[in-house]
Every structure is written in structure tokens, then in C-alpha cells.
Structure 1
Amino acid sequence: MTSADQAIGRLAQSDLLLVALDFDGTLSPLEDEPMDARMLPAARNAVDALVATPDTIVAFVSGRSLVDLRVIAEHDDASRELLAGSHGAEFWIPGEGIASHGDDEADVTLRDALRGHAEAATAHLEGVWIEPKTFGFGVHTRRASADAAAEANRLVDAIVAAEAPHWRRRTGHNIVEFAFRHEGKDSAIAELRERVGATAVLFAGDDVTDEDALASLGDGDLGVRVGDGPTSATIRVADIAALAELLERLAAERSRARG
């Protein structure tokens, strides 16, 4: 793997840098109650430093629906970070607001029906929660026993296989997500790169769904894996605090180079 010092030095020279960051597990600890997630203070400070850095654009790229991402990121209409929610099926752009790829009425009707079926099928399983999402739903099992989690996933997998076999299935930390949209974090990064005209991209993430984006990066980009697990990332950091330190160093180096 490339050393962090080499990577930071290279990105510091980029004409226009896009820093795209997953949220849960990357900037915020994973929470039993997902809506309790908030950036650690060190991560918030690093993001603020990057936002203030010349020729640098920051984006949060998440599987969360856009409305929930704005809540947990404490993001309002004056915020300067771009957002990609629902794995890149909906965006929030400073000065423009929401930019969604839209959906079909039949897809929404099926979404609501399947979510209801999933809720009914798993209602007896303690610790299992079905999370509504813009383009589907998620099966949360963080607070469930291993047996209850396995049963919940078996039941919902069967429902979706029978009623919507064309839907996309994703796994993450104690969650299985189903969606009628097939965008991924790789397409989100590509769309953000094109939209802002970035000459280089840093993407950081901690989960399986982040690997699509990490694998899509080019030679002049930087992928950062937070924590353990197989990865296509260029470098790995131990935890959120270590990522925050890397981002602070990047902001300082880039400010010197671009100031």
C-alpha cells in the first residue's frame, strides 16, 4: 500500500480535489439506534478544515436516505458539503438543493407493499427493525441475537425473491438493504466527480458497500479503508480518529500548497 505521507503530498497538489466520505462507521460510530449517529468531534473538525481549504470540495456519500443523512450530518441549507444519499440515487447540492433521479409510481407502490410484508414477517423477532428508505428498506439486526438476525434475513430474502427478484440486495454492518434502484457508491463518486470537475478524488469508507467506490478509483485518486476487512483501498487507517487525523493533515498540506 502507498504510504499516507506520499498520498497526502500528491493530493495536496491537485487542481480541484473532491473528498468524498461515507458517514456511518467512517465519521460517526455505529449506533444501535441509527438516527443517533453523529460525527465525532475530531471528524467534524477535519471536515470543517477541508471545507475551508482552497479548491477542495467535501461530500458525504451514504446508503442513508437523503432526509436521514441530512439529520445525522447536521446538514442545513447553509452547509457547503455535497450529499449523495441512497447509494447515489439522490443528491443535495449547495445552492441548488435536492437533485433526485426520480422513481416510478409502480416502484413506490411495490416498495411500500414489500416493506409492510417484511415488517409483518419479522415482528416476532426481538431486536429486528425494518428501516424505511427512499428506494426500498433495510433490515437492521444490530440489537438482535444471531439466531433472530439469521431468521429475519431468511424471511425477508424469501419475500423479496418471490415478489421483487430484480431488486438490488446489499449487505453491511448488521444490515441487509433492498432497493429498486441499482445505483451504487461507485456511480455516486462518478457523478460527483463529473459534476464538480474534480481532478482527483479521495474516498473513505468502512463497509462492504464502500468497496464499490474504492474499487472504482483511478491512479490519481486515493481510497482509504477505515478498520479491518478485505479492501481495494490504497491505504488503511485503524479507526475514525485515525481518519480524522489523516484528513486534518491533508487540509493543512493542501492549504499550504494552494494558499
Structure 2
Amino acid sequence: MTAADAAVEAVATTEALLVALDFDGTLSPLVDEPMSARMTPDARAVLDELAGLPSTTVALVSGRTLADLRVIAEHDDSSSWWLMGSHGAESWEPGAGAVDVGDDPDDRALRDRLTAAIRDAVADLPGVRVEPKEFGLGLHTRTADAETARAAQEATDGILAAEAPSWRRRTGHDILEFSFRHEGKDSAVAHLRERLGASAVLFAGDDVTDEDALRSLGAGDLGVRIGGGETAATLRVDDIAAFVTVLEQIARLRRAHTG
């Protein structure tokens, strides 16, 4: 048995399992229009199956704002899935709903001013879009050519370095993000683990920001990386369909284990 096979079996048979997953690129294909993203039918089916098993919790852990994550995940108030939005700075709990995070109005005023300034700075660059976020902003360059994307990123970096040097900077697939909140997916997973009393965690992601959580996993946990790139994950799969196969294997083993 390989180390990856052993890790799959270990999480499938643990006492209390937390399945915490990134969304974009992990459950849903990456798309040019971010709000059109939807998880694949097979991914939804296996997550619904896992969420219905004893002592098993499903959570989505995303850089998306909580409001946007609920839309793209087609998540309603009756759902048993937990949500961690904005890299863990926002949360939604079954039965309780969204948790109030309260922030300094000055931070939000600065966010609005910087968002407007960056929009002005990149207004003439084709294929570039600025996204307001709950605690900051994102610069999308998926539909821009490489030279244009580089120019937009340099302009954005310059404005943030001058106006908000303490904000957290993150890079991802064709996105540059800045936030005045410093939570990461590692702290989001740690919060969920403690809150739920999970004895093991399965975390999966496809991007640089997911590595914070993957590096935080311990013995008995399983980290999965979808696609290429350097990773701390135990297991790497080629694409979403291959990851769904792993989830289906875990569901079969866990169903047999929990009886």
C-alpha cells in the first residue's frame, strides 16, 4: 500500500472526518466570468453523499466572499455544509447562518478608495477586471495577455505599496488579491477542526493560497493537490474528475466503516 493509499484509508475510517475543500479549480472548472462558476454534477453528488454519512462534515474554504461563495455553490439556508469565505475571514454555520465579523469603518473606506484608484489605473488595459472584496480587492487578468497582465499587476502593487503596505498580498490563477484581514486557509481549517472536533481532515485545493492549509495538515490528515505546481500535499491528481474519484473512494470506505 502506498503512502497516499494509506492516507486515504486513514481519513475514511477516522472517528470524525472534516472534508474541507477549495472551490474554484477543485470542484468547479476555472472560468472567465467568476460568478458563472459551478461545481461539476459528480462533485456535488459525492459531497452530498459524504455530508449524509455519520460523523462527517463537508466545508467549502474559499477566497471568494461569503455572499459570492453561496451563489456559486448554490448553497441555501437548509444546507448542512459549512462555509469559510474570504480565506476564512467570513463563515457560515448550519443552523446559525453567517457569523458577524465586524470591522473598522476606516479599513472599509480605504478599501473603497483603493478599489476606485486601481480601477482608474487599469481602465485602459483590455482583459483586466478589478473585483471589490469584503476585506480588500482582487485584480483579475485571466482574459488579458501576459504583457497587459504584468502592467496591471505592477500598477496595483505600486498603489498598494504606497497606500496600504500592511495589507496581505496573495497570488493565484490569474488573480492578485489584497486584504486588510490576514486570515488564511490554514487558520480556517484549524478553526473548523476545533469547532467540529474533527479527528482527521481532508483538505484539497489547486492553487498557491491552498498551500497554507496543505502545509498545516498533520499526521492522520490527507492533503490533495489538483493539477500542477509545488505542493505539500500527500496526493496529487490531474483534474477535478480524478479528485471526484478519490472522494468517491473515501465515501465507499467510510460508508462501509460507519455501517
- Residue 61 of structure 2 corresponds to residue 61 of structure 1: yes
Q: Give the equivalent residue in structure 1 for 2:249.
A: 249
> Separation in 2 of the partners of 1:235 and 1:8?
9
The two structures have a TM-score, normalised by structure 2, of 0.98
Alpha-carbon offset, residue 8 of structure 1: 2.1
Contact 2:4-2:234 within 8 A present in 1 as well? no
Matches within 5 A, 1:128-207: 128-207=128-207
Q: Distance in 1 between matches of 2:144 and 2:2?
A: 39
Q: Which runs of 5+ in 2 are unaligned?
A: none
What is the CA-CA distance between 1:48 and the residue it aligns to?
1.1
Code of the aligned partner of 1:240: I
The answer to whether residue 53 in structure 2 is matched with residue 34 in structure 1 is no
Q: Following the alignment from structure 2 to structure 1, what is the Cα–Cα distance between the partners of residues 239 and 102? A: 35
CA distance in 2, matches of 1:185, 1:150: 26
What's the counterpart of residue 104 of structure 1?
A: 104
CA–CA separation in structure 1 for the residues paired with 2:64 and 2:106: 22
Shift of the 256–91 alpha-carbon distance from structure 1 to 2, 3 Å rule, reads same
Partner SS for 1:19: strand
2:6 pairs with 1:6 = yes
Distance 1:100 1:180 in 2: 17
**SS of structure 2 residue aligned to 1:251:** helix
What is the aligned residue count? 259
Query: Which 4+ stretches in 1 moved above 3 angstroms?
Result: 1-4
The whole-number CA distance in structure 2 between the counterparts of 1:245 and 1:51 is: 16
Deviation digits for residues 112-157 of structure 1 (CA, Å, limit 9, x no counterpart)? 0000001110000001000111000100000011111000000010
Alpha-carbon distance in 2 for matches of 1:124, 1:64: 26
Separation of aligned partners in 1, 2:102 and 2:38: 28
Letter of the 2:181 partner, please give it: R
- Cα deviation for residue 100 of structure 1 reads 3.8
Q: CA RMSD in A?
A: 1.1
Aligned residues of 1:46 and 1:245 also touching (Cα < 8 A): no
C-alpha displacement of 1:3: 4.1
Q: Which runs of 5+ in 1 are unaligned?
A: none
Query: Do the aligned partners of 1:89 and 1:100 also contact (CA within 8 Å) in 2?
Result: no
Q: Does 1:80 align with 2:80?
A: yes
Sequence identity, in percent? 63
Q: Distance in 2 between matches of 1:55 and 1:2?
A: 26
